């Protein structure tokens, strides 16, 4: 085949971006990132263990407080759970079990911690993925519109809107949503992940879940829409001044193409960084929203674990949350590489 | 080769003024023409309005700058076209090469796709045809191993190679007017010469009108047919390159020529001549002759009324009461 085959050239171009991940120094890079991740997780485990154990009170105190228990029975219970041993021994045992992915037993739920978390992770995952997608898309579009109309009434109006989104706490928005959409207008279910006792399957079940998620997702999004909007506006203003945008205009291509193909792709990096931060903070941090809307997610689980002194469950939530943050960060770095060919594996 | 009749100019800039906001004039009453197959060198110091003029011709001035006067390209007035018609002319009838090849290309798109894009914008062709044409263009601008380069990103290319890509984008749709804004300033000397030769060759082959914007009189002498000297937003002298550079009449042109370093190495001890003073800022331009405060020949009448651009001969014009070499 001739080296000047243009069709081969174009298809190779499409492939080019993906083959960067398979060929080249990727395996070594993954290995290096993996060893870093293990170190990070080790520090997280030790750190959270020390924190949790240094708080006064334990599970037995909670159980004992709820029933008439003698000091001897409580001591017996402590021995049973291994809570009578020195902290470093407990940590050692915990880490040994962790190595086999055994996160221990949650007395609160009367089930293994891993099972409890695996049951709740999907709720949080759906919540996080949907909120990140929605807030990022809306925020980015609003940012682009602001930047293109900088200084004009549209920009001013959007700035005010974003300021309001930014300044209103999400629980206030959540309560307002409930008041209007559930109480006054009766449009959406007030709480829960799905209708209690529902027998719906497939699409009907998805529709049921979707209706339940509209308000929590909306409440989680407003703040981040403002953040993405401001970052997107600033990044676009920066990029629109650059020479290659002028080159693109000089080509006589449509303004839409100039904005969305040439400028926006270059302005995406700070937005992607923000998405990483958003995922990290929502994975374990949507406590308020999960509580208000009665969603059995990770934040809610952590909250319950703290109030009931269920150390194993709390440690498990912290462990899984940190693990997802590490994984998300890795994915974000990969996205950087797709977006900007100048970012090389290092 | 027979040259076609060149009575009709390809580009005619008529009394063009560009002003900032309410009324700070940046470019005033600018007149010049570019014919097909002709290279016009637009020279002057930084800030004299050369690049603004180029952007005005492309219809790419920022919206806070207002223009008056006309820019006629191939029969239509660019200052009066709506955005859509203007966009159709950009890239297809007029194209521009920018000063900084390092930043003129989009860093996240392959160089091939950046050329394909302009081809698809102005021609009804398929992607594959555009890719084929892109490779031809890469060969034309002498990018070695063009097929392998097609999928490279700009950061993998040297400055000279990137400028070749920018040139390929500019000539992709066979424009009749090519504007080159300091195309070689950011490149080192050997690459400079290659790029200039390339531009000259492309111009000759396609009978392009080339507007070359530069502050380098050496480049102008090497490449241009005619020269237009600008000072503080006005044309001060224009004419055939050799005549103007060998026999400058405006004190500013003469000053520019005197300020050039000469090749002789023995003159190492000699200090470079300069033009005393600085270019006046747009809001602080004198009412009379713009060059008067810095001019060695200035007299009372220069301060009173700004001299008009008056013809010296059939193809030379001058804006001066007291030219170098005495009045006519």
Judge whether A83 lies within some domain.
no
In angstroms, the CA A290 to CA A127 distance is 10
Judge whether A81 lies within some domain.
no
CATH value at residue A261: 1.10.3720.10
B117 interfacial to chain A (CB closer than 8 Å) = yes
CA distance A275 to chain B (A): 20
Question: What pLDDT is stored for residue A346 in this prediction?
Answer: 57
* DSSP string computed for B293-312: GG-TT--HHHHHSPPP-EEE
Judge whether B67 lies within some domain.
no
Domain tally for chain B? Answer: 1
Residue numbers of the domain that contains A186? 23-55+103-115+122-339
CA atoms lying within 13 Å on the CB side of residue A288: 10
In terms of CA atoms, which chain A residue is nearest residue B117? A253
Q: Please report, for chain B, how many H helices and E strands are present, in that order.
A: 12, 12
Judge whether A199 lies within some domain.
yes
Hey, what are A217's tokens? 């997702």
Of A12, A250, A266, the CB nearest to B58: A250
A243 interfacial to chain B (CB closer than 8 Å) = yes
Judge whether A15 lies within some domain.
no
Judge whether A233 lies within some domain.
yes
A342 interfacial to chain B (CB closer than 8 Å) = yes
- C-beta contacts of A58-66 below 8 A and 24+ residues apart: A58/A83, A58/A309, A58/A311, A59/A83, A59/A107, A59/A108, A59/A308, A59/A309, A59/A310, A59/A311, A61/A309, A62/A308, A62/A309, A63/A107
* A243 contacts on B by Cβ (under 8 Å): 98, 100, 103-104
Count other Cβ atoms within 10 Å, centred on residue A293.
25
B236 close to B229: Cβ distance less than 8 angstroms: yes
Judge whether B290 lies within some domain.
yes
* CB spacing of B108 vs A339 below 8 angstroms: yes
Judge whether B278 lies within some domain.
yes
Question: What pLDDT is stored for residue B1 in this prediction?
Answer: 40
pLDDT in tens, B189-228: 888 888 899 899 989 888 899 999 988 888 899 899 999 9
Question: What pLDDT is stored for residue B64 in this prediction?
Answer: 85
Question: What pLDDT is stored for residue A1 in this prediction?
Answer: 38
Residue B26 pLDDT > 60: yes
Q: How confident is the model at residue B3 (pLDDT cuts 50, 70, 90)?
A: very low
- ipTM topping 0.95: no
Average pLDDT, chain B: 86
Judge whether B327 lies within some domain.
yes
Max CA separation in chain A (angstroms): 89
Judge whether B157 lies within some domain.
no
Domain tally for chain A? Answer: 1
Average pLDDT over residues B93-102: 88
Element (DSSP H or E) covering residue B70: strand B65-73
In angstroms, the CA B86 to CA A28 distance is 51
In terms of CA atoms, which chain B residue is nearest residue A255? B87
CA distance A264 to chain B (A): 11
Judge whether B185 lies within some domain.
no
* B83 contacts on A by Cβ (under 8 Å): 255
B143 close to B156: Cβ distance less than 8 angstroms: no
Q: How confident is the model at residue A20 (pLDDT cuts 50, 70, 90)?
A: low
Residue numbers of the domain that contains B278? 251-260+272-328
Average pLDDT over residues A308-324: 87
Question: What pLDDT is stored for residue B177 in this prediction?
Answer: 93
Instruction: Choose between B110 and A346: higher pLDDT.
Output: B110
Judge whether B41 lies within some domain.
no
């Amino acid at each position: 085949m001739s080296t000047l085959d243009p069709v081969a050239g174009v298809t190779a171009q499409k492939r080019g971006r993906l083959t960067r991940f398979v060929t080249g120094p990727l395996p070594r890079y993954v290995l290096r990132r993996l060893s870093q991740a293990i170190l990070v997780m080790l520090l997280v485990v030790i750190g959270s263990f020390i924190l949790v154990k240094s708080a006064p009170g334990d599970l037995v105190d909670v159980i004992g407080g709820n029933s008439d228990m003698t000091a001897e029975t409580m001591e017996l219970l402590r021995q049973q759970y291994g809570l009578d041993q020195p902290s470093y021994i407990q940590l050692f045992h915990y880490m040994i079990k962790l190595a086999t992915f055994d996160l221990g037993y949650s007395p609160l739920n009367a089930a293994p911690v891993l099972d409890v978390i695996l049951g709740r992770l999907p709720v949080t995952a759906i919540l996080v993925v949907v909120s990140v997608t929605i807030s990022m898309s809306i925020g980015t579009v609003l940012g682009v519109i602001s930047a293109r109309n900088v200084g004009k009434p549209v920009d001013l109006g959007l700035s005010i809107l974003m300021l309001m989104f930014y300044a209103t706490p999400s629980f206030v928005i959540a309560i307002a949503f409930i008041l209007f959409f559930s109480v006054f207008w009766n449009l959406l279910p007030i709480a829960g992940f799905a209708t209690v006792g529902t027998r719906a399957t497939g699409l009907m079940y998805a529709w049921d879940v979707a209706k339940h998620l509209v308000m929590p997702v909306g409440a989680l999004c407003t703040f981040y829409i403002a953040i993405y909007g401001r970052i997107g506006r600033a990044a676009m203003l920066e990029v629109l001044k650059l020479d290659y945008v002028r080159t693109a205009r000089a080509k006589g291509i449509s303004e839409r193409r100039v904005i969305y193909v040439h400028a926006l792709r270059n302005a995406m990096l700070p937005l992607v960084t923000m998405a990483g931060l958003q995922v990290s903070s929502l994975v374990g941090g949507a406590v308020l929203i999960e509580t208000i809307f009665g969603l059995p997610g990770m934040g809610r689980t952590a909250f319950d674990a703290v109030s009931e002194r269920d150390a194993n469950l709390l440690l498990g939530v912290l462990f899984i949350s940190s693990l997802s943050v590490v994984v998300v960060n890795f994915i974000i770095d990969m996205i950087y590489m797709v977006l900007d060919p100048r970012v090389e594996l290092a | 080769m027979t040259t076609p009749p060149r009575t009709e100019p390809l580009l005619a800039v008529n009394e063009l003024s560009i002003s900032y906001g309410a009324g700070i004039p940046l470019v005033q009453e600018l007149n010049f023409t570019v014919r097909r197959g002709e290279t016009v060198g637009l020279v002057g110091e930084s800030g004299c309005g050369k690049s603004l003029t180029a952007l005005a011709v492309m219809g790419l001035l920022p919206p806070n700058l207002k223009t008056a006067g006309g820019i006629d390209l191939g029969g239509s007035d660019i200052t009066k076209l709506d955005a859509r018609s203007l966009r159709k002319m950009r890239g297809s009838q007029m194209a521009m090469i920018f000063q900084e090849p390092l930043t003129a290309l989009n860093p996240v798109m392959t160089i091939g796709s950046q050329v394909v894009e302009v081809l698809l914008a102005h021609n009804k062709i398929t992607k594959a045809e555009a890719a084929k044409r892109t490779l031809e263009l890469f060969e034309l601008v002498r990018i070695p191993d063009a097929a392998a380069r097609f999928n490279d990103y700009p950061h993998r290319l040297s400055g000279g190679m990137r400028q070749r890509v920018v040139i390929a984008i500019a000539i992709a749709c066979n424009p009749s007017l090519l504007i080159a804004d300091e195309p070689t300033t950011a490149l080192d000397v050997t690459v400079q010469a290659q790029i200039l030769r390339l531009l000259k060759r492309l111009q000759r082959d396609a009978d392009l009108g080339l507007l070359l914007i530069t502050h380098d009189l050496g480049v102008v002498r090497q490449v241009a047919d005619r020269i237009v000297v600008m000072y503080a937003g006005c044309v001060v002298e224009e004419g055939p390159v050799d005549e103007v550079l060998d026999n400058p009449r405006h004190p500013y042109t003469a000053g520019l020529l005197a300020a050039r370093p000469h090749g002789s190495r023995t003159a190492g001890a000699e200090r470079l001549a300069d033009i005393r003073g600085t270019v006046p800022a747009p809001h602080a331009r004198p009412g009379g002759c713009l060059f008067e405060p810095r001019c060695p020949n200035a007299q009372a009448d220069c301060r009173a009324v700004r001299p008009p651009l008056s013809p010296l001969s059939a193809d030379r014009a001058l804006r001066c009461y007291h030219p170098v070499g005495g009045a006519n």
